[in-house]
Structure 1
């Protein structure tokens, strides 16, 4: 197994719109290289893009546990939880990402979840 070649193929598949194909190639790489954050993040994004939200969440939680300052991992974890309808769990990750880095996507996701929670639960204004 040539991990580098498989990673390159997985990146190509992901960028070509085949997240399932990318995930199939990335899973054994993450198994072989569990501390490789770039591979784990690409696998999380492949899972997210193919609606395998549980898999995405697992990979992203591993990333934020390893590096709590990874704003992008917090953002994607928040988006994954949002997509799963777990808005209260998403909110702290989205807030943290937006606080760590000013980015339009971060602000939009945070606003969307805050709006949703504000409409569904008037007590969730903290």
Structure 2
């Protein structure tokens, strides 16, 4: 199997709106190259976009374990946990992402989770 060609195909599937197809192509690549962060990140995004949240979480935690300063992995893990309704678990990852990199989408996700937690604490 030509891993680079498969990665390119997976990226095409992902960009074309087929995250499930991308994930199927990426899974064996991650298995063959477990330390390839670009492939693992794309697989995590494919899982997130296809609502396979526990699988996305597994990939994102592996990325963070490999590189704790990966702001994007923290952000997407926070979003994954938010999407799963696990707001308290999402909060530290979203805060870390914002602290590491000032980006509007990072800040918006953090505000959303903080607002939700503020409302739930008041109830």
- What corresponds to 2:14 in structure 1? 14
- What corresponds to 1:64 in structure 2? 64
Query: Which structure 2 residues correspond to residues 1-126 of structure 1 after superposition, within 5 A?
Result: 1-122=1-122
Count of residues in correspondence between the two structures: 122
Gaps of 5+ in 2: none
Gaps of 5+ in 1: none
User: How far apart, CA to CA, are the structure 2 residues paired with 1:66 and 1:81?
Assistant: 19
Please give the secondary structure, in 2, of the residue aligned with 1:69. Answer: coil
User: How far apart, CA to CA, are the structure 2 residues paired with 1:114 and 1:69?
Assistant: 22
User: How far apart, CA to CA, are the structure 1 residues paired with 2:56 and 2:93?
Assistant: 14
Q: So what's the TM-score if we normalise by structure 1?
A: 0.96
C-alpha RMSD of matched pairs (Å): 0.5
Please give the secondary structure, in 1, of the residue aligned with 2:68. Answer: coil
Quote how far apart the aligned CAs of 1:121 are.
1.2
User: How far apart, CA to CA, are the structure 2 residues paired with 1:69 and 1:55?
Assistant: 21
Q: So what's the TM-score if we normalise by structure 2?
A: 0.98
Shift >6 Å, 4+ stretches: none
